[in-house]
Amino acid sequence: MEYKITQMKNAFYAQSGGVTSVINTSAYGVISELSRLDKSINVFAGQNGIVGLLENNLYDLSKTKKDLSLLKDSPAGMFGSCRYKLPELTEKEFYEDLFKRLDQKSIRYFFYNGGNDSADTCLKVAEAAKDQGYELSAIAVPKTIDNDLAVTDNCPGFGSVAKYIATSSKEASLDIRSMCKTSTKVFILEVMGRHAGWIAASAELANSSEDTLVHKILLPEVQLNKDAFLDGIQNDVTNYGYSVVVASEGLKNNDGNLYAASDSKDSFGHTQLGGLAPKLAQLIHNELKLKYHWSVSDYLQRSARHLASKTDLDQAFAVGVHAVKLALSGETGVMPIIKRVSNNPYKWEIGTGDLKDIANLEKTLPKEYISECGFRITSEGKQYLSPLIQGENYPEFLNGVPKYEQLDLFLSD
Q: What are the tens digits of pLDDT across the range 28-84?
A: 999 999 999 999 999 999 999 999 999 999 999 999 999 999 999 999 999 999 999
Domain coordinates in residue numbering, the chain = 10-144+306-361, 158-304
Question: 1-15, 163-177, 289-303 — which is least confidently predicted?
Answer: 1-15
Q: What are the tens digits of pLDDT across the range 90-120?
A: 999 999 999 999 999 999 999 999 999 999 9
Domain range 10-144+306-361, CATH class: alpha beta
Q: How far apart are CA 399 and CA 413, in angstroms?
A: 38
What is the four-CA torsion angle of 212, 218, 220, 224, rounded to 10 degrees? 140
H-state helical runs in 180-309: 198-201, 226-240, 276-288, 298-303
Q: Quick one: what percent of the chain has pLDDT higher than 90?
A: 92
Note the CATH number of domain 158-304.
3.40.50.460
Reported confidence tier of residue 260, pLDDT bands at 50, 70, 90 = confident
**Predicted local distance difference test score (pLDDT) of residue 147:** 98
Q: Which candidate in 146, 148, 153, 312 is catalytic?
A: 146
Residue 272 pLDDT > 90: no
**Shortest CA distance to 326 belongs to which of 125, 152, 138?**
138
Give the amino acid at 368.
Answer: E
**Predicted local distance difference test score (pLDDT) of residue 79:** 98
Residue 270 pLDDT > 60: no
Using a 10 angstrom Cβ sphere, with 0-12 exposed, 13-18 middle and 19 or more buried, the burial of residue 29 is buried
Distances (CA, A) of 305 to 67, 130, 212, 298, 310: 19, 39, 27, 15, 10
Q: What are the tens digits of pLDDT across the range 2-26?
A: 666 667 799 999 999 999 999 999 9
**Predicted local distance difference test score (pLDDT) of residue 5:** 60
**Predicted local distance difference test score (pLDDT) of residue 139:** 98
**Predicted local distance difference test score (pLDDT) of residue 274:** 62
Residue 266 pLDDT > 70: no
Q: Is 329 helix (H, G, I), strand (E, B) or coil?
A: coil
Question: 157-161, 262-266, 386-390 — which is least confidently predicted?
Answer: 262-266
Contact present, 218 and 189 (Cβ < 8 Å):
no
Residue 262 pLDDT > 80: no
Mean pLDDT of 302-311: 97
Q: How far apart are CA 211 and CA 244, in angstroms?
A: 13
Contact present, 48 and 402 (Cβ < 8 Å):
no
Mean pLDDT of 181-185: 96
**Predicted local distance difference test score (pLDDT) of residue 7:** 72
pTM: 0.94
Average pLDDT, the chain: 95
- Answer yes or no: same fold for 10-144+306-361 and 158-304: yes
**Predicted local distance difference test score (pLDDT) of residue 6:** 66
Mean pLDDT of 175-201: 96
What's the number of CA atoms in the CB half-sphere (13 Å) around residue 159?
25
Residues 6+ apart with CB under 8 A from 200: 165, 191, 193, 217, 218, 219, 246, 247, 248
Contact present, 141 and 336 (Cβ < 8 Å):
yes
**Predicted local distance difference test score (pLDDT) of residue 202:** 98
How many helices (H) and strands (E) in the chain? 11, 15
Reported confidence tier of residue 299, pLDDT bands at 50, 70, 90 = very high
Contact present, 309 and 391 (Cβ < 8 Å):
yes
Decide the pairing of beta strands 401-402 and 334-343: unpaired
Residue 63 CB coordination number (10 Å): 13
Residue 261 pLDDT > 80: no
The question of whether 146 is a catalytic residue gets the answer: yes
**Predicted local distance difference test score (pLDDT) of residue 413:** 87
Q: How far apart are CA 115 and CA 108, in angstroms?
A: 22
